[in-house]
């Protein structure tokens, strides 16, 4: 018989309808919040898997009809889940997985359908709360409720479960799940906000603000990092809200919970005698294997040890099968690793608990790429590239609650090929793990840059070697790659993964964990931020939860590591040399909008000629007067800007829209006297007849290597130059002599 439970908690009214739909599932609830409706179901198989793991899968699916829409594209039905659906599935999985008892091995599936959407409702918190309720009410051996809350911060005040509109004004987006006793999962990002700064005009001419980049005009932005104290305060508010909700859920659902099914939990096979045997005869072999830091080498060595044991006469007499021996070897290895950390306060690779592995950084090692950074920390290595594009390169995506399409102009794509851990696995499209790691890196980096709608930046992280925290290597390499692309980065961002080992009353917090410590430890806590605070963090707990005191200690230890890494990154940033030949050029300046007619010309003839001759794209904004010129060649972009400004100037002086400048012709080998007009890192611009600026590259100043153009030339100097090549309106020169 169906029933309804209404729970008012944490600024929300949640209406749960139980046993109304999907009654053949092990557990099902229909959750209503305002106009949003979510169905969460739990189903399990009756037969256990043979392997020793929890076979749990979670699928969160948004139905287009929930927003009164028909799916776009050629196929008019829901197909591959979008990134938001995949990331939400991960959040639910990571929050509920710790609830299952040890030895549970029945294939279990949690399916969540969004049946009706509301633009102001947070579907991620709603989905987890519905999933937890369905799991708790089912016949599975689950005796705890999990609650999810989102914390925002507006005008310095924390808000529990802000609406979508409120979240747009927030400087914090903190998503936390847990039980009434402990926190289980944390996802956090800071949100940059705009601030207005009045920049003095650099030219008394009201017609133009020459050569002023748009980023320097009026708007800047705050990164809005959070300090450790602010994070702990926000988590305290979240913890209190979760505890209250969990108690209310327990009161509302306890009497409705199904009787527990008679399920057999796998008991740990007795390994005691086998562990004693390994300790007596193979201890040194295990220690040697642990010292093989690469995962592939260590796994091979441990398998070799297991085979040796299986060949012993004792193993044959005792009936020890190879699978049991491998399990015992893995358990012994885990015990050794944890004992070293807790009792000897040292780690398998000899580091102290707070020590960061050696770091090596190289930037712009790929000559044809806009920018690149090879970031190596210990045996974790990420090759991170940045590609710059225009607004048309942005990724279009849909949100269920919005009628119009959105465009993502900052993308972080993370790839994890099998060879990075020594495996010969097939290359597949990115899975949940890859999407999650890329999303974490994006959340960490995004607050430090500001892009216009007509700019697109794509970061790709290729993990070439992995032994712990490749997502944090992506953050570090990504921040430097952005800077190496000439993008204005407010502050560098570094990331570090923290670990935790707990045995009874002993615990140890580990800095910069490697794969071995992630596998055999109790926590994976990734923290990314600048020198001034945290921009993103993610935490998963394996042992059931973490208290605030330990969390604060982990944050403080992470801050020390972050500052250490940032110091190394800042040194590398000072040595960055831009890939001038590969980088596109983008210049923004302001003109009197009344001059745009002469730039466009009759039926767009003039602007088309400019685009074709200079090989650039031009965007004119009549409202603001901004002119944006983009192209793959800096010289061509600069020449186009000069030509546009001259057209505008002649219009102002009464030259009329039909006045057309004759483009002078140049030939290879011609010699001219000219004046140095501008000096840049890669050369100088010399004024030629007709007002055309030719490029005198730094390599053409002398037969010997020249480090700085200003060592040879100064602005205003007269020089004799020879034309080396002419490509369109781009004239390359060679210095003959100074006059």
Cβ atoms of residues 155 and 74 within 8 Å: no
Q: Give tens-digit pLDDT for 71-112.
A: 877 788 888 899 999 999 999 999 999 899 988 999 999 999
How far is 325 from 521, CA to CA, in rounded Å? 22
What are the backbone dihedrals phi and psi of residue 640, each rounded to the nearest 5 degrees, phi first?
Answer: -65, -40
Cβ atoms of residues 394 and 401 within 8 Å: no
Q: Give tens-digit pLDDT for 456-481.
A: 999 999 999 998 889 999 999 999 99
CATH superfamily placement of domain 671-738: Nucleic acid-binding proteins (2.40.50.140)
pLDDT over 80 (residue 590): yes
213 confidence band (pLDDT: 50, 70, 90):
very low
**Separation in Å, CA 662 to CA 6, 426, 665, 685, 722:** 78, 60, 9, 20, 22
Domain 585-652 fold: Ribosomal Protein S8; Chain: A, domain 1 (3.30.1370)
Cβ atoms of residues 671 and 720 within 8 Å: yes
Q: Give tens-digit pLDDT for 685-707.
A: 888 887 788 888 888 888 888 88
Q: Give tens-digit pLDDT for 642-653.
A: 889 888 887 655
CA 345 to chain centre: 33
623 confidence band (pLDDT: 50, 70, 90):
confident
Per-residue burial over 328-356, b = 16 or more CB atoms within 10 Å of its CB, e = otherwise: bbbbbbebbbbebbeeeeebbbebeeebb
**Separation in Å, CA 630 to CA 147, 333, 619:** 49, 58, 9
pLDDT over 60 (residue 641): yes
CATH superfamily placement of domain 3-191+211-256: GHMP Kinase, N-terminal domain (3.30.230.70)
CATH number of 359-574, picked from 3.40.50.1220, 3.30.230.70, 3.40.50.11540, 3.20.20.70: 3.30.230.70
- The neighbouring-strand residues paired with 524 are 499, 540
How far is 476 from 383, CA to CA, in rounded Å? 11
Give, as one character, the DSSP assignment of residue 341: I
544 confidence band (pLDDT: 50, 70, 90):
low
Sheet holding 506-511, edge to edge: 157-160, 147-154, 172-178, 183-190, 533-541, 523-530, 494-503, 506-511
**Separation in Å, CA 40 to CA 22, 98, 127, 148, 666:** 9, 19, 8, 15, 73
pLDDT score recorded for residue 24: 94
Total-model pTM: 0.80
Which are the contacts of 216, defined by CB distance < 8 A and separation ≥ 6? 199
Give, as one character, the DSSP assignment of residue 76: -
Give, as one character, the DSSP assignment of residue 63: -
Phi-psi region of 432 (alpha: psi -120 to 50; beta: other; left: phi over 0): alpha
Structure tokens at 486: 């000439």
Provide, rounded to the nearest whole percent, the portion of the chain with pLDDT above 90: 47
Structure tokens at 362: 């190289």
Average pLDDT, the chain: 87
Nearest to 475 by CA among 486, 491, 487: 491
Per-residue burial over 12-38, b = 16 or more CB atoms within 10 Å of its CB, e = otherwise: bebebbbbeebeebbbbbbbbbeebbb
CA 284 to chain centre: 41
Give, as one character, the DSSP assignment of residue 546: B
How far is 491 from 534, CA to CA, in rounded Å? 12
Provide, rounded to the nearest whole percent, the portion of the chain with pLDDT above 70: 92
Give the mean model confidence (pLDDT) for residues 263-272: 80
pLDDT score recorded for residue 203: 34
pLDDT score recorded for residue 654: 56
**Separation in Å, CA 189 to CA 45, 203, 380, 438, 452:** 38, 40, 24, 14, 21
Which are the contacts of 194, defined by CB distance < 8 A and separation ≥ 6? 219, 220, 221, 222
């Amino acid at each position: 018989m169906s029933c309804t439970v209404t729970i008012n908690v944490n600024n929300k009214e949640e209406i749960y309808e139980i046993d109304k739909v999907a009654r053949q599932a092990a557990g099902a609830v229909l959750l209503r919040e305002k106009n949003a409706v979510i169905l969460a179901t739990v189903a399990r198989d009756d037969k256990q898997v043979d392997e020793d793991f929890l076979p749990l899968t979670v699928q969160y699916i948004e139905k287009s009809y929930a927003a009164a829409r028909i799916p776009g594209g050629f196929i008019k039905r829901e197909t591959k889940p979008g990134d938001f659906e995949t990331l939400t599935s991960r959040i639910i999985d990571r929050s509920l997985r710790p609830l299952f008892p040890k030895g549970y091995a029945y294939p279990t599936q949690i399916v969540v359908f969004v049946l009706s959407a509301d633009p102001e409702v947070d579907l991620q918190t709603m989905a987890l709360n519905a999933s937890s309720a369905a799991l708790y009410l089912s016949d599975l051996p689950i005796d705890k409720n999990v609650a999810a809350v989102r914390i925002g911060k507006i005008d310095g005040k924390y808000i529990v479960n802000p609406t979508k509109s409120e979240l747009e004004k927030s400087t914090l987006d903190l998503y936390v799940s847990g039980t009434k006793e402990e926190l289980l999962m944390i996802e956090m990002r800071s949100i940059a906000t705009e601030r207005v700064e009045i920049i003095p005009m650099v030219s008394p001419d009201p017609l133009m603000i020459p050569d002023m980049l748009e980023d320097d005009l009026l708007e800047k932005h705050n990164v809005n990092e959070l300090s450790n104290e602010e994070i702990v305060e926000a988590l305290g508010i979240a913890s209190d809200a979760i505890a209250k909700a969990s108690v209310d859920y327990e009161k509302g659902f306890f009497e409705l919970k199904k009787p527990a099914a008679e399920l057999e939990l796998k008991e740990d096979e007795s390994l005691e005698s086998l562990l004693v045997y390994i300790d007596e005869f193979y201890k040194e072999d295990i220690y040697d294997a642990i010292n093989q830091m690469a995962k592939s080498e260590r796994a091979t060595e441990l398998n070799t040890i297991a085979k040796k044991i299986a060949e012993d006469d004792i193993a044959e007499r005792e009936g020890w099968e190879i699978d049991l021996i491998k399990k015992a070897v893995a358990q012994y290895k885990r015990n050794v690793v944890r004992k070293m950390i807790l009792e000897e306060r040292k780690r398998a690779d000899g580091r102290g608990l707070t020590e960061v592995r050696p770091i090596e950084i190289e930037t712009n090692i790929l000559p044809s790429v806009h920018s690149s950074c090879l970031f190596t920390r210990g045996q974790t290595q990420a090759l991170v590239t940045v590609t710059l594009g225009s607004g048309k390169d942005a990724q279009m995506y849909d949100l269920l609650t919005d009628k119009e399409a959105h465009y993502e102009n900052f993308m972080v794509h993370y790839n994890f090929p099998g060879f990075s851990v020594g495996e010969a696995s097939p290359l597949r499209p990115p899975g949940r793990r890859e999407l999650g790691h890329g999303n974490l890196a994006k959340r960490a980096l995004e607050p430090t840059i500001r892009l216009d709608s007509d700019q697109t930046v794509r970061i790709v992280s290729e993990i070439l070697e992995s032994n712990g925290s490749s997502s944090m290597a992506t953050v570090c390499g990504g921040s430097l790659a952005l800077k190496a692309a000439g993008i204005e980065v407010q502050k560098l961002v570094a990331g570090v993964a923290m670990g935790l080992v707990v045995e009874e009353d002993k615990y140890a917090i580990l800095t910069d964990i490697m794969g071995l410590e992630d596998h055999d430890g109790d926590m994976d806590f990734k923290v990314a931020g600048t020198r001034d605070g945290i921009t993103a963090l993610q935490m998963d707990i394996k042992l059931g939860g973490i208290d605030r005191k330990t969390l604060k200690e982990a944050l403080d230890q992470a801050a020390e590591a972050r500052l250490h890494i940032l110091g190394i990154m800042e040194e590398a940033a000072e040595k960055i040399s831009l890939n001038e030949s590969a980088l596109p050029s983008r210049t923004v300046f302001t003109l009197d909008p009344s001059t745009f007619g002469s730039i466009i010309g009759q039926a767009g003839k003039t602007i088309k000629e400019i685009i074709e001759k200079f090989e650039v794209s031009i965007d004119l904004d009549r409202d603001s007067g901004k002119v944006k010129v983009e192209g793959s060649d800096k010289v061509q972009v600069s020449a186009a800007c000069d030509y546009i400004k001259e057209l505008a100037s002649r219009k102002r002086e009464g030259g009329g829209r039909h006045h057309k400048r004759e483009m002078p012709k140049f030939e290879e080998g011609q010699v001219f006297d000219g004046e140095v007009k501008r000096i840049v890192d890669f050369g100088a611009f010399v004024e030629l007849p007709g007002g055309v600026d030719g490029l005198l590259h730094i390599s053409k100043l002398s037969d010997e290597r020249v480090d700085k153009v200003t060592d040879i030339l100064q602005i205003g100097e007269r020089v004799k130059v020879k034309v080396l090549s002419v490509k369109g309106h781009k004239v390359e020169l060679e210095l003959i002599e100074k006059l």
